[in-house]
Amino acid sequence: MRIWAAPGRVNIIGEHTDYNAGFVLPIALPHVVRCAAEPRRDTLVTVRSRQRRGPAVRVPRTELVAQRDRVPEWARYPLGVIAEFARRGHAVTGVDLEVDGAVPIGAGLSSSAALSCAVALAARDLFAHEVGIRELIDIASTAENTYVGAPTGVLDQSAAFLCTAGHALFLDVRAFADGGSPEQIPFDLARFDLELLVIDTGHPHRLVDGEYAARRAECAAAADALGLPTLRDAEPAAVGRLTDPLLRRRARHVVSENARVLMVAEKLHDGADPRDIGPELTASHISLRDDFEVSTAALDTAVTLALESGAHGARMVGGGFGGSAIALVDRAAGTAAAIREALALKGFAAPRTFVAVPSRGAHRVE
């Protein structure tokens, strides 16, 4: 069997902006999901995971949609990708899939998109060589939206396919959808004796639950109230005229977060000391906590402890409602140990911590 891999991601800044046609700035992680795949001579699609016990999930290709609700939730990600290739008319036969993931699950680091993108790249190479990267992003995103039922934007899939080692990916979601190209911005923290620390609180999030969908619907309602296609087009003064206080808070986050992405991207592009972006990271967390209301006590505590331990900036990362925080810290500062100890003293489970290193996007391994 041949093997393909797709990475998880950390979003430096730009949370809940992708489905509002805004700006994002992710890096790919060295942690990947691998997919081993081999075509079959029949029409059966099988998928097994090295992280799950039990027999392989087996579904005839022609029944992927009909049997969606009968398969385990984790298997819907790879099966949804195969179903989407078939729906688009690609000549997909049966296939054996085996997935093996090193991206922490439920940590807000895009483990689900890494799984979908690894399978999508494998399916492209096996069955549909003509499919380009843009369509692969769309296939993986559509599969997660429709087959799995997670109303995500395109941030995670775009990061998985477009990120490059040593760089942050500046993506204007609207411009990319219209044919524009993303920008690769050098992101070498080691040169400045810095690290981007990931703090996995161990409180998993679930994007298929209702709160994420509610935030997306609230953003759409706010844009509609302003007479705009998306909140990407909103100005701060217009947001202040929204009469519904909840919609005003949601819109204020999106508008201010887009501004923060542009500011951070400009500073990094100009070669500024990355310490200068720290206040924007912290401002992002405050906005996500107060205006978008997607943080948790564990995430808030992790951010506070990181800042008290000397971090230049910190924020929750991902969709929220659990998962991870990131902190921009000096190398060898002992911040990770201090945070783990302090969280334990406050009654939280000891978090998993690691350093995020900008890594390559999805690729064939062998």
Distance, in Å, from the CA atom of 152 to the CA atom of 113, rounded to the nearest integer, reads: 10
Distance CA 124, CA 133 (A): 10
Number of helical H runs and strand E runs in the chain: 11, 12
Closest of 346, 352, 276 to residue 305, by C-alpha: 346
Using the Cα atoms of residue 200, residue 293, residue 168 and residue 145 in order, give the sign of their dihedral.
positive
**How far is 151 from 177, CA to CA, in rounded Å?**
18
Q: What is the dihedral of CA 331, 333, 335, 338, to 10 degrees?
A: 160
Q: What residues are labeled active site?
A: 156
Cα Rg for the chain, rounded, in angstroms?
A: 20
Q: At what angle do helices 133-142 and 111-127 cross, to 10 degrees?
A: 130
What is the spatial distance between Cα 335 and Cα 330, in angstroms, rounded to a whole number?
A: 8
Give which of 203, 198, 190 is closest to 354, Cα–Cα. 198
Find residue 355's DSSP bridge partners.
197
Tell me the C-alpha to C-alpha distance, in Å, between residue 339 and each of 230, 247, 327, 334, 345. 38, 34, 11, 9, 10
Coil, helix or strand at residue 10: strand
Any idea what DSSP says for residue 226?
Answer: T
H or E stretch including 327? strand 324-330
Contact, 139 vs 85, CB < 8 A?
Answer: yes
Question: Which residue in this structure is represented by tokens 């204020």?
Answer: 252
Distance CA 79, CA 287 (A): 36
- Asked if residue 185 lies in contact with residue 167, where contact means CB atoms within 8 angstroms, the answer is yes
